[in-house]
Amino acid sequence: MLGIHLDTDIGGDIDDLCALAMLLNCPGADLRAITTVSDDGGRRAGYARYALRLAGRADVPVAAGADISLGCYCPTPGLPDEATYWPEPVLPAPGPLDRTLTLLERSIRENAIIVAIGPYTNLALLEQRAPGILRSARLCLMGGYVFPPRTGFPAWGPDMDWNVQVDARSAHVVLRCAAPTLVPLSVTVETALRRADLPTLRQAGPLAQLIAHQAEAFAEDEGIEARYGRTCTGLPDDTINFLHDPLACAVALGWDETVKTSELRLRSEIVDGLLYQRIDHGGVPTRVVTQVDGAYFSELWLRTVVG
């Protein structure tokens, strides 16, 4: 069993919930703790606790991390309408930031794999509190932009790399001080949560049913089927969302079927508010996922979540 600490901005893009459901159903994962990031008075932590209760895993500790009130996010992350995405009101779970950083530090010192699927603010704050700690961390990050997406998939640039760009200063700290595994946007855009998946999810357990419910709302709000599913030849027509965060979790757990990685030295710099990465012989050693069979992984995710 691999010890996993999930650092997440659950409650926004629904792929965080998809990632949590996969971790809870993966026999090789020992989910030890969850910390939230870009939280809003503990609302994201409340959502994490709610999802854990649905899965019968209320034993997993949850702590609210860096809050939007810190003023380090640009733009300020928001949350969708709770009544639309959640079947009932969810009680926020605020708490002191220091407790969250202590929980994160403990996981690192216990050699758990830290899977960061939101902005990297908590990690940067921990590095500030305990200089050098990220160098020894087993860190897997959803984010990064080294190569553009392949033809047939959304032609996104580095500005679309939300986890990195919404708090570029923290990302710069983490990418400079750690030696992480990056699961970048250029490969995660090849995965898909499909409308065809929803009937299967609805027939599974409570957490899978919640994903199906939120997927319907997300499809209405974001229109990814029309914007990308029907315009990108590499994606299914009925693509509701991308499985960015589940893919990062799978890589952290050692899943390597159809996955290719490269050991690269990357230098990061902030220019006009955006963080850019480039290959440089003097850069930080970084393991980067460069290729994945997105359709294969998407089917694997569905099978894992529904059991």
Residue 1 in this model has a pLDDT that exceeds 90:
no
Single out the residue of 94, 158, 173 nearest to residue 127, CA to CA.
Answer: 173
| Predicted structure pTM score | 0.97
pLDDT in tens, 91-100: 999 999 999 9
Hey, what CATH class is 2-188+245-290 in? alpha beta
CA distances from 68 to 39, 64, 146, 151, 239 (A): 6, 11, 28, 36, 30
Sign of torsion, CA 172 130 2 120?
A: negative
108-145-246-208 Cα dihedral, nearest 10 degrees: 130
What is the H or E stretch that residue 183 is in? strand 181-183
Radius of gyration of the chain (CA): 18
Which of the four pLDDT bands, split at 50, 70 and 90, describes residue 65?
A: very high
Give the single-character DSSP code of 100. H
8 Å CB contact between 181 and 251: yes
- 197 is written with which tokens? 């998946």
Gap between the Cα atoms of 265 and 288, Å rounded: 10
**Residue 77 DSSP SS3:** coil
User: What is the secondary structure of 49-80 as a DSSP string?
Assistant: HHHHHHTT-TTS-EEE-SBGGG---SSPP---
Residue 19 parent element (H or E): helix 15-25
C-alpha distance across the termini of the chain, in Å? 18
In whole angstroms, what is the distance from residue 252 CA to residue 6 CA? 11
What is the torsion angle, in degrees rounded to the nearest 10, for the CA atoms of residue 149, residue 152, residue 157 and residue 163?
Answer: -60
- pLDDT one-digit tens code per residue, 221-279: 999 999 999 999 999 999 999 999 999 999 999 999 999 999 999 999 999 999 999 99
pLDDT of residue 11: 98
